[in-house]
Chain A
Amino acid sequence: MAYRCTVRNFTYHFDDLKMLLAKATPLRSGDQLAGVAAQTAEERVAAQMALADLPLTTFLNEAVIPYETDEITRLILDTHDANAFAPIKSLTVGELRNYLLSDEVDAPTLTNLQPGLTPEMVAAVSKLMRNQDLITVSAKCEVITRFRDTIGLKGRFSTRLQPNHPTDDFRGVAASIVDGLFYGSGDAVIGINPATDHVRTVVRLVDMMDQIRQRFEIPTQTCVLSHITTTLQAIEQGAPVDLMFQSIGGTEAVNSSFGINTALLREGFEATRALKRGTVGQNVMYFETGQGSALSANAHHGVDQQTCEVRAYAVARLFEPLLVNTVVGFIGPEYLYNGKQIIRAGLEDHCCGKLLGLPMGVDICYTNHAEADQDDMDTLLTLLGTAGVNFIMGIPGADDVMLHYQSTSFHDALYLRDLCRLRPAPEFEAWLLRMELMNADGKLMPVKNTHRLLQAAGL
């Protein structure tokens, strides 16, 4: 179906829903690279005006990628909850924005609404929002998940301790873990990206991190971010796997390029749940996403990169994940060119994920060929703190020496905690107090060189 909008006697035409969504998207290099972006600033606003007048029911009748050829489209439409949708079924996209921002909408309302929202509805309304709106709506949402601690409570904020090492050297990994724990990091997960995806390496890293966790009775979970098929093999070999990790995208074709589909994810989910390793909950999945992945695999079907990203959240919410992390600036400047585009995308992903009921964290990051620096990361970090982000990364000195990009440091997380008066997950906070790493005011304590955590690094 075609859409149109007339601005001062000129009528803009949009051939179909995916074109309308793409043209309405705030400027980013990935959509320009794909050739789907608006040609002019005026065309973009015209598309936003046409989108604002679109009834939400349109999204139930017109798919951006055909139902017959894409399992994610089928998933979205087959699991749509008409009862949850009922309160907003007569609204347009523009009216949905008004509704989400209105005083009457609070966290319980949004939780009830979640199964009635499709990714495309959420992507559409986010395209009409300014950064301020994205933050306001995100801050209303509360998404709480549990494994060995409780993540996402209001007034709390967690970190993934990311102790990567270029050769997976045990002592090198342990040194970064100890560094992070001394800085109060790691309540979302202690999660390592292995340098090689060999099952033997994965099993050894899982074992090693589990030993540290048990030895110091740390109320957190560990994860090696290997491919799901590798982690499944590790489970078969008896490795103490807490969380199943996988990168996911928003089209069947991009997931094929990752070597996965929803059936394989279901297998990973069930195998990990069966281990029953959680103590306060059984959210066992850890997903990573990021705008641009579908285009980079040439699997975007002409759909803009932000809509593709939000479709990935439909896959994630099937499996009640503990953590969903959008790795926002990792992909490079051909998808998100500069600090402005990275900041906007980070806020969009966080807001859209939360609206769809996901425990969103953000890897606030950039590569050296992007037009961005630490000042941009500070800005996005501060904005996400106000938006109520569930977790961010904690990396020694913000410099990942294995993946070669810059993210957030242990210091950055402390900054946000101090500034926004946010505390770690309650179980982890109690542990930090017990270990005399933090005082009751939430401030780090000076560490003596006899502290028993240092034994972990002695190995």
Chain B
Amino acid sequence: MSHLPDQPDPWAFLQSHTSARIARGRTGHSLPTRALLDFQLDHARARDAVYSELERDTLLTQLQVIQQPVLQLHSRAADRQQYLQRPDLGRKLDEKSLSHLHHLTGVSGKSAQGFDLSIVLVDGLSATAINRHAGAVVSRLVEEIRALGWSLAPLCLVEQGRVAIGDEIAHALKAETVVVLIGERPGLTSPDSMGAYLTFGPQPGLTDESRNCISNIRPEGFPYEAAVQKLLYLLTEMKTRRLSGVLLKDEFDDNLLTP
């Protein structure tokens, strides 16, 4: 036998209708080699995303354009292994981060009055997502927020965090609204989806029904500029109506954004 190349199935033309892994062919009852390795590569990327870390220096360089102080914080989850098993610890700041925030609010005259908005970047389940997309989205968002005349709390960069940690941070900073940008659970073909969670009147103990969410922010999913426009829409609605979450009906038309 000279060659045994991979052969797709005769119905491979149906692939244009779905992203599902159809018509991959078979050798005996098994997947052909290339289809097997394609899958392994996608899973490897997703696994690497789960264990990726925030590239702080690169992010700080990217964020210099907005000329905003940046606070580096850490949750109570010591490492990734603990983070994965104890979501409760990822929702709370560790002692050092908390005292850092309290010290800051104690000495700063500005923060006594509070801020309109706090932006919190969290690694979540894919720091890769933040590394790739947060710089672009935050610089555009801040530009628009300043044009509206809103005051902005110091930017926060959080390691081993879950969504709810933004509530604790924004509450300590006395911010009226918070946007948490966080790496979402990696999909097999989307290891770098970034999510945005927005809360009005953030405080510890709030749950998902108090938040609004924009999912799958990345060029192949919900593109940057569309995400920024939707964030602005939701933020101004929240500020006007003084609420967020299920009570805030999302009437933003995503279709207006598609060219």
Contacts and interface: CB of A to CB of B under 8 A. Distances in A.
Given A397-B39, A411-B29, A415-B30, A176 B22 contact: yes
A448 B11 CA distance: 9
Given A33-B85, A333-B85, A373-B43, A368 B18 contact: no
B21 A369 contact: no
Nearest to A179: B22
Contact of B29 (A32, A404, A415, A451): A415
B88 interface: yes
Interface stretch (B140-148, B168-176, B182-190, B197-205): B182-190
A277 B30 CA distance: 36
Interface in A397-421: 397-399, 401, 404, 406, 409, 411, 414-415, 417-418
A179 B30 contact: no
A454 interface: yes
A55 interface: no
B31 A411 contact: yes
Interface in A1-35: 29, 32-33
A1 B14 CA distance: 63
A374 interface: yes
A426 interface: no
Interface in A117-165: 163-165
A33 B86 contact: yes
Contacts of A176: 18, 20, 22
B132 interface: no
B29 A399 contact: no
Nearest to B184: A404
A249 interface: no
Interface string B21-40: 11110101111000100011
A334 interface: yes
A186 B28 CA distance: 20
Interface stretch (A166-174, A219-227, A253-261, A282-290): A166-174
B18 A337 contact: no
A175 interface: yes
A178 B11 contact: yes
Contacts of B40: 374
A165 B20 contact: yes
Given A367-B185, A415-B30, A333 B20 contact: no
B249 to A, nearest CB: 17
A417 B28 CA distance: 12
A37 to B, nearest CB: 11
B58 interface: no
Interface in A180-236: 182-183
Contact of A374 (B43, B86, B186, B187): B43
B99 interface: no
B19 interface: yes
A172 B20 contact: yes
Interface in A434-459: 444, 447-449, 451, 454, 457
A404 B185 contact: yes
B54 interface: no
A172 B85 contact: no
Nearest to B86: A33
Contacts of B187: 368, 404
Contact of B19 (A32, A166, A333, A406): A166
B30 A411 contact: yes
A415 B35 CA distance: 16
A175 B26 contact: no
A396 interface: yes
A197 B17 CA distance: 22
B10 A449 contact: yes
B87 interface: yes
A447 B20 contact: no
B84 interface: yes
Contacts of B15: 175
B30 A369 contact: no
A453 to B, nearest CB: 9
A359 to B, nearest CB: 25
B50 A369 contact: yes
In this complex, the member of A176, A182, A397, A448 whose beta carbon has the largest number of chain B beta carbons within 10 angstroms is A397
B194 interface: no
B230 interface: no
B46 interface: yes
A368 B46 contact: yes
A60 B185 CA distance: 43
B20 A169 contact: no
Contacts of B87: 33, 334
B43 A333 contact: no
B95 interface: no
A183 B20 CA distance: 15
Nearest to A296: B87
A172 B21 CA distance: 11
Contacts of A173: 18
Nearest to A395: B20
15 contacts: A165-B20, A172-B17, A173-B18, A178-B11, A183-B26, A334-B87, A397-B20, A398-B21, A404-B190, A411-B26, A411-B31, A415-B29, A444-B29, A454-B10, A454-B11
Given A333-B85, A404-B185, 6 more contacts: A33-B85, A333-B84, A369-B125, A396-B21, A399-B42, A401-B19
Closest 3 CB pairs of A and B: A397-B21, A414-B29, A172-B18
Interface of B: 9-11, 14-15, 17-24, 26, 28-31, 35, 39-40, 42-43, 46-47, 49-50, 84-88, 125, 185-190
